[in-house]
C-alpha cells in the first residue's frame, strides 16, 4: 500500500469537510447577530458583476463579512502546510490568499466595507466588531441621506 497517497487522500477529505459553506464559527457569529436584532444575507454576492460571495452581507450598509478558515486562508497562528503534496497545497492556498486580496479590492472600489475574521476568533468578539461597524455605517448612511435632502427655499 502506498502510505503517502493514503495520507494525502485523508488530508483532502479533511479539507473538503472544512470547506463546507456553513462552518460552525460562522453559524455562531450569525446567531449572535440575529439574537441582537440584526438582519443580513448569507452567502451573498455583494456586487453582482463580481463573482465573489461573502459569508454575511449587510446590503443597506454595504458591509461584507468573511469568516476565513484557518487552513484555506493560511491563518498565521494555525496554518500548517500538509506534508504530502506540499507544493500543490502551497500554490492552492497562495491562490486563495491572492483571491482574498483581490476580492477586498473589488468590493472596496465598489464602495463596500470589508471585514474579515479568522474562524478561530471568538464568535462574540467577531459579532461585537460587526455590530459596531454596522452602527457606524448606519450613521454614515443617515448623515449622507440628510445632506442630500434638497433644501427648501423659505
Distance CA 25, CA 23 (A): 6
What residues between 76 and 95 interact with Zn ion by CB under 5 A?
77-78
| Cβ atoms of residues 66 and 55 within 8 Å | yes
Q: Does 106 bind Zn ion (CB under 5 A)?
A: no
Phi, psi of 82 (to 5 degrees): -60, 140
What residues pair up with 113 in beta bridges, in sequence order?
A: 63
Q: Does 130 bind Zn ion (CB under 5 A)?
A: no
- The CB-of-25 to Zn ion minimum distance in angstroms stands at 10
Q: Does 116 bind Zn ion (CB under 5 A)?
A: no
Residue closer to Zn ion, measured from CB, 29 or 134: 29
Q: Does 24 bind Zn ion (CB under 5 A)?
A: no
Work out which of 32, 33, 70, 130 binds Zn ion, going by CB under 5 A: 70
The residue behind cell 482574498 is 100
Strands across the sheet with 113-118, in order?
41-44, 54-58, 63-68, 113-118
Stretch that binds Zn ion, among 18-26, 64-72, 104-112, 145-153 (CB under 5 A): 64-72
Q: What is the binding site for Zn ion (CB under 5 A)?
A: 70, 75, 77-78, 118, 120
Amino acid at each position: 500500500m502506498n502510505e503517502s497517497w493514503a495520507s494525502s487522500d485523508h488530508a483532502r477529505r479533511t479539507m473538503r469537510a472544512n470547506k463546507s459553506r456553513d462552518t460552525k464559527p460562522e453559524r455562531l457569529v450569525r446567531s449572535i447577530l440575529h439574537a441582537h436584532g440584526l438582519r443580513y444575507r448569507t452567502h451573498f454576492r455583494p456586487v453582482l458583476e463580481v463573482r465573489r460571495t461573502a459569508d454575511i452581507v449587510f446590503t443597506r450598509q454595504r458591509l461584507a463579512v468573511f469568516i476565513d478558515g484557518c487552513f484555506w486562508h493560511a491563518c498565521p497562528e494555525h496554518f500548517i502546510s500538509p506534508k504530502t503534496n506540499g507544493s500543490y497545497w502551497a500554490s492552492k492556498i497562495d491562490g486563495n490568499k491572492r483571491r482574498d486580496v483581490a476580492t477586498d479590492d473589488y468590493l472596496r472600489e465598489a464602495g463596500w466595507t470589508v471585514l474579515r475574521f479568522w474562524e478561530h476568533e471568538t464568535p462574540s468578539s467577531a459579532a461585537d466588531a460587526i455590530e459596531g461597524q454596522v452602527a457606524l455605517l448606519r450613521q454614515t448612511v443617515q448623515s449622507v441621506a440628510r445632506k442630500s435632502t434638497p433644501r427648501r427655499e423659505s
